[in-house]
Chains A and B, each alone.
Chain A
């Protein structure tokens, strides 16, 4: 799957509200892409990330922002829409799990002596169950790529183990949502593509209002 499919039409159509947060300033061009074959499972990833400023606290804060986004998406946006059946069930379950990730990441950041970032204000363009689920698919799949891309740069093995236990849940969410909307639960086939920070940002920044 190409980047264009992950960072996808639902998001391209989003209205961009104001400036992105300073922490989200893009540095450098998007990595032109998928140097990513069946066996070539991504030597470039860690190098790309190592070049970024972050360190474990920075990576965790980045993850925290994504989890805030997902939690608000399910728990605020999801509740504001008349979801039914599986969509409603997933929104509830997954929303609770994303909220648990927020709590866990905040605690981990503090434990490392860092300061958890504040929750941004989000704006979600979903207006129906259909658009809600389409956006859910984008967010969850982006989340998987974000964790997979960032994890090799983590210094602490403990943080890595925690990130691993979270990304597995994001992948499960992504598959369930994709199945529900008739998409492949494995959009990247056998190997999930790690996303670099810039790629993740380009996917989510239209949703960040302030």
Chain B
């Protein structure tokens, strides 16, 4: 097992460098210390757990008591937890909301014309991939007999290339964690296959952005940490129009 140190540092950097800044949305998300500590705690527990992936699941549920149930606590939990919504349609609509936000984010970034060349092309590519996720998820919700949620028309601070890249890194990491948090709760194997196909693409985006902002491509080490729906929704709340 790799020591958790590396990932700790990678995650901690932005939190510690900061003297109090205007509490912009970016700063909140990137520097959200409470969230970060919880993440670190979970990542640390995972890193220390030489006896494996099962422990990962177990650690998730015990160390995140303040934030709700672990993703790994599976289906029974899924039907009874917080989000007043149940089942695959609810999960897909949750994912759709996140994809709408990502899609909107990239389109604003591209419109701001902060990036050129290869990086600009990558961001454009990622944006169109998020668009395709929106399309796919809407179709999936409809196919299951549900009603796709409305586009929340996210609002994002677009200030500088550095700030945007960092925000993108944060958003993509959050997105990957969000999908991971739902995987074990999905009932339909087809929906699961879809979610997994998207999940790993979000992970690819996150890693790519990690290289752009000179941060770890695997900030949590060998095992990615899931994020609960409530945690994710709280994190993106500032972006909801």
Contacts and interface: CB of A to CB of B under 8 A. Distances in A.
Nearest to B217: A176
A166 B225 CA distance: 10
A100 B222 contact: yes
A104 B184 CA distance: 18
B129 A165 contact: no
B197 A161 contact: no
Given A41-B190, A96-B2, A157-B75, A105 B52 contact: yes
A125 interface: no
B213 to A, nearest CB: 13
Nearest to A49: B189
Nearest to A86: B211
Contact of B57 (A97, A158, A193): A158
A104 B122 contact: no
A47 B144 CA distance: 19
Interface residues of B, number: 60
B114 interface: no
Interface string A29-64: 000000000110111011000000000000000000
B64 interface: no
Interface string B123-161: 001101110110110011000000000000000000000
Interface in B1-39: 1-2, 6
A176 B217 CA distance: 7
Contacts of B71: 161
B126 to A, nearest CB: 7
A98 B200 CA distance: 17
B202 to A, nearest CB: 8
Contacts of A107: 51-55
Interface centre among B185, B189, B192, B222 (most CB of A within 10 A): B222
A94 B176 CA distance: 19
A143 B125 CA distance: 23
A161 B57 contact: yes
Nearest to B125: A186
Given A103-B52, A158-B74, A173-B218, A96 B197 contact: no
Contact of B200 (A46, A103, A160, A168): A168
Contacts of B93: none
B44 interface: no
Contacts of A169: 203, 218, 222-224
Given A158-B184, A165-B225, A168-B224, A152 B207 contact: no
At the interface, is chain B mostly helix, strand, loop or mixed?
A: helix
A43 B140 CA distance: 12
A157 B79 CA distance: 14
Interface string A123-147: 0000000000000000000001001
- For chain A, give the interface size range: 35 or more
Given A161-B71, A189-B132, A171 B200 contact: yes
Interface in A169-207: 169-176, 179, 184-186, 188-194
A104 B85 CA distance: 33
A7 interface: no
28 contacts: A39-B135, A41-B193, A42-B190, A43-B190, A93-B2, A93-B6, A96-B222, A97-B218, A100-B221, A100-B223, A103-B1, A106-B52, A108-B53, A147-B196, A151-B196, A157-B184, A158-B57, A161-B74, A164-B184, A164-B199, A167-B199, A173-B207, A175-B204, A185-B122, A185-B204, A190-B128, A190-B198, A191-B194
Given A168-B176, A175-B208, 18 more contacts: A41-B197, A41-B198, A42-B190, A97-B2, A160-B184, A160-B192, A161-B57, A161-B180, A165-B53, A165-B223, A166-B224, A171-B204, A172-B207, A176-B217, A185-B204, A185-B208, A186-B201, A189-B201
